[in-house]
Chain A
Amino acid sequence: MPGITREEVAHLARLARLELKGEELEHFAGQLDDIIGAVARVSEVADQDVPPTSHPLPLTNVMRADEVRPSLTPEQALSGAPAQEQQRFKVPQILGED
């Protein structure tokens, strides 16, 4: 099992929009390596004939009738927003100058 590299952590951090310092990249690379190593033991136990599990319960086709249920009020919906304007969620600039 090859180790998780610093570059891979940097890539993940970028995708997750997390700003990590140099020493944090090293630190998390080691930690992620341990975690993945632990999870990898599962594949030692599971043979080819065991399909990957995405859901713990053997359920299918849980569906909902197409019936309208009450929504939150705009005030409730926006109550957790750090900023709002015109009854909308206000978010920082999306594109920087380029």
Chain B
Amino acid sequence: MLDKMPQAVTIRIANDAARRDRSVERDVVYPYELPLRLWHWVNAAAILVLGITGYFIGTGTEVTPGEASDNFLFGYVRFAHFSAGYVLAIGFLLRIYLALVGNSHARQIFYVPIWRRCFWSELWRAVRWYALLAAEPEKHLGHNPLAQLAMFFMFTLTTVFMIVTGFALYAQGSGNDSWQYKLCGWVFAIWPNSQDVHTWHRLGMWVIVCFALVHIYAAIWEDVMSRRSSISSLISGEREFRD
């Protein structure tokens, strides 16, 4: 089977476990398994809800007239935020489980292989590629090193931070006897004034916003420029190399 492969595909991709039989006809591999894709979109939806509701929680909504007993607008906004927060947190735990049992691509966002020399050389090539200095992209099956850096530092670490500070702030409402306080209350040992935790949580939101911007742009750009499926990959799970 391997010998039938098109020459354009590098050996590493050819040897990848995610490669499938149907790649005989098209240059297609299958890096993203179904649970991973499901997580990606559920997580994206949760982040969207969290970002919007979180923004309003920090600044306050428009004023709703009428009796207080007839309205629960801010309550619903907060409810949506907390629910989406739980979805994100539980999803993240499942995502860690996926990383443990899934293929190597499921582990990519959890570490940066700075100890590998090839990581640095590939990183340099990726930078050149994004700076439009390289004519041909590296054919990466998963994330390229630059994307992996962004995923790890801007997404994974920030998400962990947001989950921990989020539950710490939630514990302010659920009380000092709650499991949220027992689990995440140590945050207030670092920032005794919880206003600081609110501030950091909000800055974290903006890091995620910046990440989302770059992430979506880079996905579309890669799709167009490197002739490598990117967005559709996260729906079908297949990565197609169109050249």
Asked if A and B are interacting partners, one says no
Interface residues of chain B, those whose CB is within 8 Å of chain A, are none
